[in-house]
Amino acid sequence: MADIANLKVGTTTYAIKDSTARTSASTAIGTANSAESKADQAISDSAAATSAAASAASAASTAQTTANSAQSSATSANTKIDGAEIIGTYTSGTETIEISLQLGS
């Protein structure tokens, strides 16, 4: 159907379309479409940020596990060093002294 802007009754023409209202409506539609587009982008950005945060949390957990393992290994090494003994054995027939290091357990 054609868009009607004027109504003529007899010799009198009446304007039945408000051009300001039409322009305002068109602007409102444009603004709404822009807002919808920005909302869609915000949803997409939020999903990407959530995914990145999950990856960072996983990496942090792995790093914590690795650090705990390194701490345990260091503690074990310290225990062996703390319990270490130097043992010397002299053999008179060969006039030899044998020196050995025995690590703690």
- pTM for the model: 0.49
Q: Which of 24, 30, 26, 22 is nearest to 5 (CA)?
A: 22
What count of Cα atoms within 13 Å lies in the side-chain half-sphere of residue 80?
A: 9
- Lookup: tokens for 3: 């868009």
Query: Per-residue pLDDT tens for 4-32?
Result: 777 778 888 877 776 777 788 889 999 99
pLDDT band (50, 70, 90) for residue 2 = low
pLDDT tens-digit map of 30-79: 999 999 999 999 999 999 999 999 999 999 999 999 999 999 999 888 88
H or E segment and range at residue 58: helix 19-82
